[in-house]
Structure 1
Amino acid sequence: MILTVTPNPSLDRTYEVPSLDRGRVLRATGDQVDPGGKGVNVSRAVAAAGVRTTAVLPLGGAPGILLAELLGLQGVDVTAVSITGQTRSNISLAEPDGTLTKINAPGPELFPEESALLLETVRTSCADAAWIACCGSLPRGLEPRWYADLVDLAHAAGARIALDTSGPALLAALPARPEVIKPNVSELAEAVGRPLPTLGDAVKAAEELHALGAGAVLASLGADGQLLVSAEGTFHGTAPAPLVRSNVGAGDASLAGFLIAGGTGPDALAAALAHGAAAVQLPGSAMPTPADLRPDQVTLTQDLPLDLPLRDAATAAFGP
């Protein structure tokens, strides 16, 4: 069983539009409402693969009720922590060329008693979990150390942690030694405080986070595939996606594939790549089923082209 924890879940509505014209009335050619949040998406992808999963979520208001109902319809068990605030709703606008514009609401504030109850609920729910995937930004009211506390709690219960977050929350959690972290290239650059224009730069950054406490670094490099740095070695892989419809949740699908395949080594990286490539070819934040996967099209190597320029390189935050 894979348990997921999403401290700031959402309802995600995606509209497909012919083009994004500011100040104009846009007529959507399609729309879809999905449960949202990184950990929620991991649970959805795990359930789509036929593996048991439980999502631990702070939920409030009518959006929280609908989110739980939608997850139940997708085969995800929900363990809800009732909160005073209302679960947020996000909007995405998807254009035919794959460009995505997102509006993410800030979400509710969690009070100290709600934060403590969320941790306690994870502790009492993780007895059968092979992995706990802790994913997403922290809502207002939770300190950056909250994920580190959760990692300590999970280790005390004998569970392994996969952590997908960024910024101060990621750096604060590294000394607790999560088994896997999953940054994208921008988050990886933010963590080390410098731009990453090439694959070699990304490898060095991942090695630094590994040395700081991450058991393995599974880094999404956008159009340039994924990178895995761990004690077993350094691997790079790609998988083709000829039709990109939406990248919402693609990284979460990748993490689900990685954990389903055992959460370690090149075979798990191959599964992550297959899940991610399948996800970007689906509308909205739809998660791939086994029928959508093309594992035979995944390419892995340890002979890394370190001078490869990264097309999604994170440079803007560091100036010209």
Structure 2
Amino acid sequence: MIVTLTANPSLDRTIVVDAPLRPGEVQPAHPGREDAGGKGINVARVIFGAGVAVRAVLPLADDDPFDSALGATGIDAVRVPIAGRARANLTITDPEGITTKLNLPGATLSVSEADAVIAAVVEASRGARWLVLAGSLPPGVGDDFYVRVIEAVRRALGDDAPRIAVDTSGAALSAVVDGARPDLIKPNDEELAELTGSAASSDTLVTGVADAARRLVGSAKIGAALVTLGGEGAVLVTAEGEWFGRPPRIEVVSTVGAGDSSLAGYLLADHGGAVPAEKLRSSILYGAAAASLPGTQAPRPTDLPRGHVLVTARP
């Protein structure tokens, strides 16, 4: 079982324009997709599509329209009642695959609602192999919310606590790395640069990313880092070594959710007992598959590109 927490779920609406977006002008558009989203939900949908048991925890009002889209996914979901409504995010994609996103802040959680979410995650995590904390935080919970979740799970479950993966950014990611020692983080290169204060140049992107991630792993702040680099591929750094891989050639349709699918691909490979290089290869294939699909569509194993992914270990 893999458990995900989406503290700030979103109804993801995607529209497609025939030409590059022109701010301030009127442009024709085509209706696209409407998906139950938020990073944890996206991860759960990919895992579910691969036939692996997954449970998604999220705050959600009983009468929220989001629930209809969530129910259509078929995933096992634990809904924690709240007063507010899930946000709606709008994605605009042009013919070149360039994506513009407009994200709303989401429902404000009260102290009691936030505590109820934490309690639900603890219960859902009993017997789980991984717990994934993914996405932005909703208003009202504070930057240390994921730290509180991790502490509650480990305190309640002890040696039986699942491994914990975190995919967030900014102050929330800094708080986790500084105070919670997650087993895995999944930033992109820009989020890693913000976290460490050391941006890599385009000429030394892979080396710079690997070095920055190694400092975090080496200092025992994190167990491992899976760093996605968009079209350049991804880097995996663990206590045992460092690996880099490039994606096969694809036609990019929408990059929304590609990073979430990358994390899901890594977890699926881990679930199958894969070695680090194969975990990275699976991550890259799932990320590429997501980028080749419209909207926030969750790739299935049959959607994976057939091109070869060369993964190399850093000496």
Q: Does 1:257 align with 2:256?
A: no
Query: Offset at 1:30?
Result: 3.8
Structure-1 separation of matches of 2:231 and 2:220: 27
Instruction: State which of 159, 168, 176 in structure 1 corresponds to 2:180.
Output: 176
Q: Does 1:189 align with 2:193?
A: yes
8 A Cα contact 2:249 2:307, kept in partner: no
8 A Cα contact 2:242 2:314, kept in partner: no
Structure-1 separation of matches of 2:3 and 2:66: 17
Within a 5 Å distance, the mapping from 1:262-301 to structure 2 comes to 262=270, 265-294=276-305, 297-301=308-312
Q: Which amino acid aligns with 2:262?
A: S
Structure-2 separation of matches of 1:61 and 1:100: 32
Give 3-state SS (helix, strand or coil) of 1:260's partner. Answer: helix
8 A Cα contact 2:15 2:32, kept in partner: yes
Query: Offset at 1:66?
Result: 3.3
Structure-2 separation of matches of 1:85 and 1:73: 21
8 A Cα contact 2:62 2:81, kept in partner: no
Structure-1 separation of matches of 2:284 and 2:258: 10
8 A Cα contact 2:246 2:311, kept in partner: yes
Query: 1:299/1:30 Cα in 2 relative to 1: closer, same or farther (>3 Å)?
Result: farther
Q: Does 1:204 align with 2:211?
A: yes
**Larger deviation, residues 174-183 vs 258-267:** 258-267
Gaps of 5+ in 1: 305-320
Within a 5 Å distance, the mapping from 1:12-27 to structure 2 comes to 12-19=12-19, 20-27=21-28
Give 3-state SS (helix, strand or coil) of 1:54's partner. Answer: strand
Q: Deviation per CA, 1:204-235, whole angstroms, max 9, x where unpaired? A: 11112222511000000111100001012000
Show the counterpart of 1:137. 136
Instruction: State which of 219, 236, 239 in structure 1 corresponds to 2:227.
Output: 219
Query: Offset at 1:302?
Result: 1.2
Q: Which amino acid aligns with 1:126?
A: S
Structure-1 separation of matches of 2:80 and 2:253: 34
Query: 1:242/1:176 Cα in 2 relative to 1: closer, same or farther (>3 Å)?
Result: same
Show the counterpart of 1:163. 166
TM-score, normalised with respect to structure 1: 0.90
Show the counterpart of 1:229. 237
Give 3-state SS (helix, strand or coil) of 1:57's partner. Answer: strand
Query: 1:53/1:250 Cα in 2 relative to 1: closer, same or farther (>3 Å)?
Result: same
**Larger deviation, residues 185-194 vs 255-264:** 255-264
Give 3-state SS (helix, strand or coil) of 2:289's partner. Answer: helix
Show the counterpart of 1:85. 84
TM-score, normalised with respect to structure 2: 0.91
Show the counterpart of 2:8. 8
Structure-1 separation of matches of 2:35 and 2:184: 26
Query: Offset at 1:73?
Result: 2.2
Query: Offset at 1:92?
Result: 0.4
Structure-2 separation of matches of 1:66 and 1:280: 27
Show the counterpart of 2:148. 149
Structure-2 separation of matches of 1:35 and 1:96: 24
Structure-1 separation of matches of 2:241 and 2:198: 24
Structure-2 separation of matches of 1:179 and 1:295: 30
8 A Cα contact 2:248 2:307, kept in partner: no
**Larger deviation, residues 53-62 vs 161-170:** 53-62
8 A Cα contact 2:2 2:130, kept in partner: yes
8 A Cα contact 1:61 1:85, kept in partner: no
Give 3-state SS (helix, strand or coil) of 1:31's partner. Answer: strand
8 A Cα contact 1:61 1:86, kept in partner: no
Query: Offset at 1:68?
Result: 2.7
8 A Cα contact 1:154 1:161, kept in partner: no
Q: Which amino acid aligns with 1:143?
A: G
Within a 5 Å distance, the mapping from 1:97-112 to structure 2 comes to 97-112=96-111
